[in-house]
Amino acid sequence: MSVTWAALKAQIGRKLDDPTYGKYSEALLLDVVNDALTAFAATHTGIASDFPIEGDGATYEFALPTNIVDAEGAGVYAVHWKENTWLTELEYWPGEVWSSTSRTTTSNPLGYILWPQGKISFSRIPTDGQEVTVHYVAYYSEVVDDNSSITVPRWALEAIKLYTAAVALEPSSTKAATLGQYKSRREAGGPEDNPVLRLAEHYMRRYYEILAAHATPQYHKLQPVG
């Protein structure tokens, strides 16, 4: 489902009892909603994307797209080599000897390595003109103004609102904690007697509950078996 930032911001404002945006700055809300989308992509659901690579018969290492999710266990989830051949990520160990001593267009084993960071390296060189397709998970586009579109699953909109609201409350929670040090012991209560902090924690807890109630995309079904 796609909504504009203007529409989503209005919903967040109502959740924070701030429909006219007087309490929370635009800069703060933009920072936080982008953080929410980044966290959502890295831990649950990103954008399923494709990246074509054209071989030249000599190059075996290629830069990955800059918007690829770089969290552990995310990012590249399948590589289509050609025809009915899909590659798996190779496991390698120091001192291990592969079948072929150098990379050629026919060397073995056939697979890929995600190393160094931001690059994919094939153990076999793609032939000249061969198109290899890397299927990967991407981050969401940055929200920059009211006209920016936010496209996430319908069920995830509430989660994004809750995350944004929770983190947007942090400055108010900090202010309440700072002022609390000047209260009497009876007025101040315990060290964490901070209603704003409790509300932020409630929103964040609800965020994780919503994510836990929905299965992550089954990207592994695109990978070869065995």
Mean pLDDT of the region 150-155: 96
pLDDT greater than 50 at residue 175: no
CA dihedral 52, 46, 114, 96 (to 10 degrees): -120
- Token pair, residue 75, equals 């990012």
Place of tokens 């153990």: 123
pTM, two decimal places: 0.85
Does residue 47 carry a pLDDT above 90? yes
Higher pLDDT, 95 or 224: 95
Instruction: Give the residue from 73, 30, 69, 21 showing the smallest Cα distance to 48.
Output: 69
Residue 178: predicted pLDDT: 40
Average pLDDT over residues 42-52: 93
Greater pLDDT, 66 or 175: 66
Which residue would you say has higher pLDDT here, 91 or 29?
29
Average confidence (pLDDT) over 19-31: 86
Which has more confidence, 149 or 222?
A: 149
pLDDT at 172 over 90: no
Tell me the mean pLDDT in the region 111-129. 94
Residue 180 CA to residue 173 CA, distance in Å, equals 10
- Mean pLDDT of all residues in 9-17: 94
pLDDT in the model for residue 14: 94
Checking if the pLDDT of 83 tops 80, the result is yes
Taking residues 3-32, report their average pLDDT.
Answer: 91
Residue 216 gets which letter from DSSP? P
pLDDT band at 177 (very low <50, low <70, confident <90, very high): very low
First to last CA, the chain: 36
Mean pLDDT, rounded, for 34-53: 95
**What pLDDT score does 170 carry?**
85
Three-state DSSP class for residue 154:
coil
215-to-80, 94, 152, 209, 221 alpha-carbon distances in Å: 25, 37, 14, 12, 14
**If pLDDT is split at 50, 70 and 90, which confidence band does 116 have?**
confident
Q: Which residue has the tokens 């590659």?
A: 87
Segments making up each domain of the chain, as ranges: 2-45+141-217, 47-138
- Average predicted confidence (pLDDT) for the chain: 87
